[in-house]
Structure 1
Amino acid sequence: MRCPVAAFTTLFLSSSVLAYGWGGPEPFRLERLEGRNFVLTEESFLHRISFQPLPVVRMQDSWAEDGWYGTAGSTRSREFYVQSHLQKRVQFDVPMFVGVRFRRDEDLDGRYDRTLFGSGYVTADGSLELGVWGDVRGGKDEVDLQLEAYWRPGPEQWLRATLISPDAMYNSKTYDSSFYQKKPLTLHLAAGTVFADGQQLYGFTNLNRRMEYHQPDLAQQWTDKQYSAGLGWLYPVTANWQLGLQTQGLYGLRQQFQDDALALELRRQFTDTSLELRSRRAQPVTYWGGVRYLSLRERDQVQQAGLTVLEQRDEWMLYAGMAWDWRPWIRLRPSLMLGYADMQGARPDDDEPLHFSGVLAKLVPVIEFHLHQQSGAVIRLNPTIELHSLSFGGGNVQVHIPF
C-alpha cells in the first residue's frame, strides 16, 4: 500500500476486534512522536495472531458493546501483549445514557490506555444513539473530546461514526511554549450489513489528518498523518461452509524539523490479509482453515546523519483448527499455524539487528470455558507451543464477557 487511497475505498464499512485497526478509533497521541516503546522480533506477529480468538474472519462490533473483551499473554521474557476493552452503559427512563469505556491496547507506535466517560441521547429501541465522550485526565492539555453517532436501521445493519479532537485544549492549557499549529483530528467510520442470502460485509476507516506540532524551546517542529482501513466479507459457499476474506491497510508519514531543516522522516506501510474457510453452522465439531499474509515497511530516514533505516517483513501463514464440545461447558479449540517469514531491519536502539528468513510454526491448544449460556461469557486458556524451536510459546488468557 503506497498511498492513502485505500483508506477511502471503505468509507462506509465496519469493525471487528483484532489488533492493529480492528479495535475501534485510533486517534493521534502526542507520545507517538517518541517512537515505539517495544521491539518487534521475528515472532511478534506470530504471538499476537495466536493470542486472538480463532477463526480470524468474523463480523462483530464488540469494542463498543457492554462487556469485557480482550487477551493478555507473554511474548518475551520481559513483555506481555495486552489487549483489553471494557465498557458499561446505563440507560435511564428518559432518553439518555451515561457510560464508561476503557481500552488498553497497542499499535505500531507503542502501548497506550484510553479511559472515556460519556453521556448522550438514545432512542427507546436503541436504533439511534448520539453521544459525547471524553478521555479526561489530570492535565487539561491531555483531554480528548469524542463525538459519536450510532445508527442501526435494521436488525442486521449498523453504522457508527466517531469524530475525535485529541488534546482539544492543549494550546491554552499546556505549561510550556509548545503548541499545535494545526491541531490533530481523527475521523473513524465503521459499518456492517447482512444480506438476504447470508452474505456479510463489514469494514472500517480511520483517518488521522495531518497535524503540525511546534516546540520553540527545542527549535523543533513535527508533522504527522496516518490513514488506515479494513474490509471483510463472508460468503456462504454451502449450507455447512462459509468463505471469508478480511484485509486491512495502513499508511503513515511523520517528519521532524530542526531549525526548519528536515531531520527525520518515517514512512510506514502495513497490510494484513486473511482468506478463510470454516464451518457455517453450530455443530458438536466445527472446523476452519485459512491462509494469511502480513507485510510491514518502515523507512526511517535520519537526514543529518545521512542514514536510512528500513524495517521490512513479509509473513505467510497457513492455519487450521477445530472446535469440539468435550463437555457441556468446556470446548476444546486446538489450532496449528505453519508459516514462512522473511524480515530484516535495524534501529539505533536495538540490541541486535533484525535478520530472519525461515519457518515459524505454533500449536495453539485453546481450552474454552463457557461460564454463562445466556450471555455467552467465555474464558479461554491458551498455553501455546513453538514447533520451530520445540519450546514454550507463551501462555495467554482470553476473555469474552458481555454485560
Structure 2
Amino acid sequence: MMRPSGILVLITGVVCQLPWQKALAGSPHIPQPWRAEAVVQGRDEAYDAERFLHELTFAHQAEAPSAVENGIRGTGGSVSSDELYYDFRFRQDFGFREGRNGFLLDIQRSEDLDGAYDRQLVGFRQNLGERSELWLQGDVFSDKAQSDVYFSGRHYLNGRKGSNETSWLHASWIIPDAYFNDKTSTPDRFTREPQSLFLQWHQQTELRQSTTISINWSRESEFVSRQENLTVASDNVRAAFDHRQQSGPWALSIAIEGERSRRQYQLQGPQEGQRRDFSRDYLKVTTSARLNEHRLKPRFGLAYIHLDERGFFGRAIDDTGDIRRREPVVFADITLQASAATTLSPALYLGAPDIRQSFDATREDNHSGFMGKLALPLQFRLSATDRASLTLNPTFYLHKAAFGGGNLQFHWPM
C-alpha cells in the first residue's frame, strides 16, 4: 500500500521536521478553534471502509507525553495508495526567571473530520503568584487576515506545576482570523465573526491516576465566501474525557470523545439560492486493560466509533451525501523484549463495521461484516535517559490478502 516515495516522505516528515501525545494533536484535549477551510471546503475525500481501522492501528505505542505535557510526538501512516494519515505535535514551555515567565511554542499538524490543518502557536506565559498563569498566543501568518489570537489562563487547584500530584482548570478564548475583515485582500467577509472557547479540568495523583475533561465550543458564526459562491453559518461542540489508573497489577484506561456540528449553506452561482444543511454527530470510545506484572504485558481493549453525517459536505467534495458508520473493534496485544532496547508488540484488531455511505453524484459504498488487521510494531529505545523512542509498525489485513499500511512513530518527552 505504501510506495517507496511515500515511506521517504513519511520518514522525512517525522524525523527531520522535529519542530513537531496518547492524545493526538487533533484531540479535543487541545484547543480546536473554528477554521474557515473546514466549513467552506470540508474534507477532500470520502473515507473508505478501512479508514478508522487504520487510525486505531496507528495509535501511539508510548504513553507520554500526554496532551498536557511537553515533548515531541508524531505518528504517520498510509491509509490508501496516495493518502497519509499524519499527526505530530511539538510543545515546549521555555521557562525563565525561575519559571515565573515562559516562552510557549506549540507546533501541530493533524487532521479531523473536516480535513488536515497546521498550527504554529507562539506565545508568552506570565505567572500570577504560585498557582495561576496567563497565556497570550498567536497562530501567525504572513497574511495577517489568517492569524488566530489565543487568550488563556490556568489555575492550579492543588499541588504545583511539574509535580506528580496536581490538578488545574484551564480556559482559552480564541479569536480565529482575528483581523480578517480589516486585512483580507479577498472579497470574502464575516457577517458574524467566529469565536472559540476551550475549558479543561485535569487531575493527577501520586497513585498513578489521572483524569482530563475538555470542552471546545465554537459559537455560531457566518462567513460569506464570494470566491466559493456560498454563505455558511456554523456552530460546533467537541468534548473529551480521559481517565487512567493503576488497579493492582492492571493499568486501566478509558477515553471518550465526541463532536456535534451544524452548518447551513446558501449556495450561489449556478446553484443560486439553494440552501443545503449539514449535520455531524460523532462519538468514539476506547477502553483497555493491561496486565503490567506479567512478562508479556498483555493488553485487551475495545473501541467503538459512531458517525452520522448528512447534507452538503463543502466545496472540496462539492456534493450532498449521507454517511452512517457503526464500528466496534476488539483488540489485544503482547510485548516481547527482543533486546535491551527493542520490543515487538504484535497486536490483533478484529471488527464488524456496519457502513452505509452514499453521495448524490456517486454510487453507494457500503460494507457490513468482518474486518481486521495484524500490526507488528517494533519499538527502538533511542535514549533511556530521555525516554525517546522510534517505532516501525507494518500492518496486514486479515479480511483480505493485502498489506495494510506502514506506520512510523517518533516519541521524545522533554
Q: Under TM normalisation by the shorter chain, which class is it?
A: 0.7 to 0.9
Name the % identity: 28
For residue 328 of structure 1, what is the aligned residue in structure 2?
340
Task: State the distance in 1 between where 2:84 and 2:179 align.
Answer: 33
Task: Report matched runs for 1:286-365 at 5 Å.
Answer: 286-300=297-311, 309-348=321-360, 353-365=364-376
Q: Distance in 2 between matches of 1:215 and 1:320?
A: 47
> Counterpart of 1:62 in 2: which secondary structure?
coil
Give the match for residue 279 of structure 2: 267
Deviation (angstroms), 1:321: 0.7
Q: Which amino acid aligns with 1:45?
A: F
Amino acid of the residue matched to residue 243 of structure 1? Answer: L
Supply the distance in 2 between the matched residues of 1:363 and 1:47 (Cα, whole angstroms): 11
Is 2:40 the counterpart of 1:27?
no
Instruction: Give the aligned partner of residue 222 of structure 2.
Output: 212
* DSSP 3-state at the match of 1:31: helix
More displaced stretch, 172-181 vs 374-383: 172-181
How far did 1:201 drift?
A: 2.4
Match of 1:162 among 162, 172, 190: 172
Separation in 2, partners of 1:19, 1:289: 25
| Cα distance change, pair 301–84 in 1 and its aligned pair in 2 (3 A) | closer
1:249 aligns with 2:254: no
Q: Which residue of 2 aligns with 1:78?
A: 82
Q: What secondary structure sits across from 1:285 in the alignment?
A: coil
Cα deviation 1:287-307 (Å, max 9, x = unaligned): 2101111111001159xxxx9
Name the counterpart of 1:37. Answer: 44
Partner of 1:7: none
Looking at structure 1, the residues matched to 229 and 382 of structure 2 have their Cα atoms a distance apart, in angstroms, of 57
Say if 1:312 and 1:180 are closer, same or farther in 2 by CA, change over 3 A: same
TM-score scaled by structure 2? 0.83
Shift of 1:362: 0.6
Match runs of 1:268-283 below 5 Å: 268-280=280-292
Q: Which residue of 1 aligns with 2:379?
A: 368
Against the structure 1 CA distance between its residues 99 and 18, is the aligned structure 2 distance closer, same or farther, given a 3 Å change threshold?
Answer: closer
Aligned to 1:143: 147
Quick one: which amino acid aligns to residue 293 of structure 1?
Y
Report how far residue 128 of structure 1 moved: 3.9
| Cα distance, 1:328–1:112 mapped onto 2, change above 3 Å | same
Query: Cα 1:381–1:217, aligned 2, differ >3 Å: closer, same or farther?
Result: closer
Question: Contact 1:134/1:146 (CA < 8 Å) preserved in 2?
Answer: yes
RMSD, aligned CA = 2.7
* Inter-partner Cα distance in structure 2 for 1:342 and 1:334: 26
Matches within 5 A, 1:168-207: 168-194=178-204, 199-207=209-217
Distance 1:355 1:90, change over 3 A: same
The DSSP-based 3-state class of the residue aligned with 2:334 is: strand
8 Å contact kept, 1:118–1:131: yes
Amino acid at match of 2:264: Q
Partner residue, 1:228: 238
Distance 1:256 1:292, change over 3 A: same
- TM-score (ref. length: structure 1): 0.85
Aligned residue in 2 for 1:10:
none
1:217: how far off?
A: 7.8
Distance (whole Å) between structure 2 residues aligned to residue 199 and residue 91 of structure 1: 27
Q: How far 1:110 moved relative to its partner? A: 0.6
Q: Is the 8 A contact 1:16 1:23 kept in 2?
A: no
**Hey, what's the Cα distance between the residues in 1 that align with 2:398 and 2:357?**
25
Give the drift of 1:214: 2.5
Q: Which residue of the other structure, out of 40, 54, 58, is the alignment partner of 1:51?
A: 58
CA displacement 1:13-34 (0-9 Å, x = unmatched): xx95137534511111111111
- The alignment covers a number of residue pairs equal to 378
Alpha carbons 2:24, 2:88 under 8 Å: kept: no
- CA-to-partner distance for each residue in 1:108-157, whole Å, 9 max, x for gaps? 001111111111214797x5432211111011110100122234432232
What CA distance in whole angstroms lies between the structure 1 residues aligned with 2:127 and 2:133?
4
1:105 pairs, out of 104, 110, 133, with: 110
**CA contact 2:65–2:413 (8 Å) conserved in 1:** no
Q: Which runs of 5+ in 2 are unaligned?
A: 1-20, 160-164, 314-318
